[in-house]
A and B are shown apart, each in its own frame.
Chain A
Amino acid sequence: DAKTTQPPSMDCAEGRAANLPCNHSTISGNEYVYWYRQIHSQGPQYIIHGLKNNETNEMASLIITEDRKSSTLILPHATLRDTAVYYCIVMSSGTASKLTFGTGTRLQVTL
């Protein structure tokens, strides 16, 4: 699996948009970009994934650059409950795909 680079930590004021970047310059053509988050002492939670088009769901938006070498996860209106470690992972889609977690970005949402 390709490696990813994320900033170790970010702060965001409650109600503002949180933009979490991820670099994945060695991503291959059949690899997707996945985002998970882990709230303290819980199991990771799936957020969103995409291949090359921008994606949006009820939790977040995913913006992937045209060259696919980087992406940004956007939480449009961050709340205190969004405080967590966010992991960007690139992986081939399909069954039994092993996730390789990097160090992630610790997002702290403040009042």
Chain B
Amino acid sequence: GAVVSQHPSWVICKSGTSVKIECRSLDFQATTMFWYRQFPKQSLMLMATSNEGSKATYEQGVEKDKFLINHASLTLSTLTVTSAHPEDSSFYICSNDSPSDNEQFFGPGTRLTVL
């Protein structure tokens, strides 16, 4: 199956700074990738759909100016959390869609802690 990597695996930052998370589809060209967020003891919540070469589609309640998504190539999507605050501390996970297998492949996740 497709392999998805994320970098960094964890990051600690100060409040007010911006953090960029990379999601790479290592062996599959992903036109579409998904970004999820997971708070402790909760389920995954879809934040946005990242589309290669066009604007991302955000879910209701997700601020597009705060969570900047760039999908400039078929193997890389980035999520930038701008002006991070402690309430943005969460586990961020990306996935790609594999049309041949009808399953999504998830990255290992990035744990963000904002102090």
Contact = CB atoms under 8 A, between A and B. Distances in A.
A46 B91 contact: no
A46 to B, nearest CB: 4
Interface residues of A, number: 23
A43 B107 contact: yes
Nearest to A45: B106
Nearest to A103: B43
Interface string B102-113: 111111110100
A45 B4 CA distance: 11
Contacts of B97: 95-97
Contact of B95 (A32, A34, A43, A93): A43
Where chain A touches its partner, the secondary structure class is: loop
B103 A46 contact: yes
Interface string A65-106: 000000000000000000000010000011111111111100
A101 B99 CA distance: 20
Q: What is the size category of the interface that chain B forms with chain A?
A: 20 to 34
Contacts of B107: 43
B91 A96 contact: no
A41 interface: yes
Interface string A24-53: 000000001010001001111110010000
Given A44-B93, A96-B49, A102-B43, 16 more contacts: A38-B44, A43-B108, A43-B109, A44-B95, A46-B1, A46-B103, A46-B104, A46-B105, A94-B99, A94-B102, A98-B46, A99-B46, A99-B95, A101-B43, A101-B44, A103-B43
Interface of B: 1, 4, 6, 31-32, 34, 36, 43-46, 49, 91, 93, 95, 97, 99, 102-109, 111
Enumerate the 4 nearest inter-chain pairs by beta-carbon distance, A residue then B residue, closest first: A43-B106, A46-B103, A95-B99, A96-B32
